[in-house]
Amino acid sequence: MIVFADSHVDLMSNIAMTGPQVAKRWDRELLRKWSKITQDNLRDFMQIKDSLDPETFPNYAENDAMLAEFVADKASLYAKRVADDAFAILLDQVLAYEQAVRDVADLELRIDGREAVDEVSEETDPETGEVTQVYLPAITSIEPMAATIEVEGETIDNPEYLTALADLEAAEAIIAAVSDDEEDPLRALIVLRNNQ
């Protein structure tokens, strides 16, 4: 007996799936049980079934039972495919959100820079041996991006700075668009993925 998968979209994955990819996977799933030839034959039977005499047509009852099973499998897989289409859209939104979070961190660092931080040594409590301060490596400083630049003796807005600000605004808009409602599936999936 062939058991169909529940889903082909892994919501914990970092790889998005398109609608055609989802459809192709579910088509292959149907082909595991029903060959292309069998599907075609059952469709042909379905089209002429009403004009056939069940008493005289060879294997009518067997074909009718197979058709019913095929239709039920097709309906079941279609429902799973529709759910996977929704999951694929949700995963795509989560991946866009996660990329926006990374972009904001990167762009803020490039725009604002950062001060250097000295190395912090590990410290332990002499009595218990418990680590009270973990080792932190030194961090070098990064100069903030210049808002203006000199070109041929003229001060102009730095195009890289303006692009970085626009990119930052776009990434922040993606983050702001996510609901704070814990019942929202997008918010729930983001929280789940962050806690894995």
Sign of the CA dihedral running 21, 25, 30, 36: positive
How far is the C-alpha of 186 from the C-alpha of 109, rounded, in Å? 27
pLDDT of 3 reads: 85
| Cβ proximity of 84 and 8 under 8 Å | yes
pLDDT of 84 reads: 96
Q: How confident is the chain (196 residues) per 10-residue block, as mean pLDDT?
A: 88 93 95 96 95 92 96 96 95 95 96 92 91 91 94 93 97 90 85 87
| Cβ proximity of 130 and 121 under 8 Å | no
pLDDT of 74 reads: 96
- The whole model's pTM is what? 0.75
How far is the C-alpha of 126 from the C-alpha of 70, rounded, in Å? 72
Query: Three-state SS string across the chain, please?
Result: CCCCCCCCCCCCCCCCCCHHHHHHHHHHHHHHHCCHHHHHHHHHHHHHHHHCCCCCCCCHHHHHHHHHHHHHHHHHHHHHHHHHHHHHHHHHHHHHHHHHHHHHHHHHHHHHCECCECCECCEECCCCCCEEECCECCECCECCCCCEEEECCEEEECHHHHHHHHHHHHHHHHHHCCCCCCCCHHHHHHHHHHCC
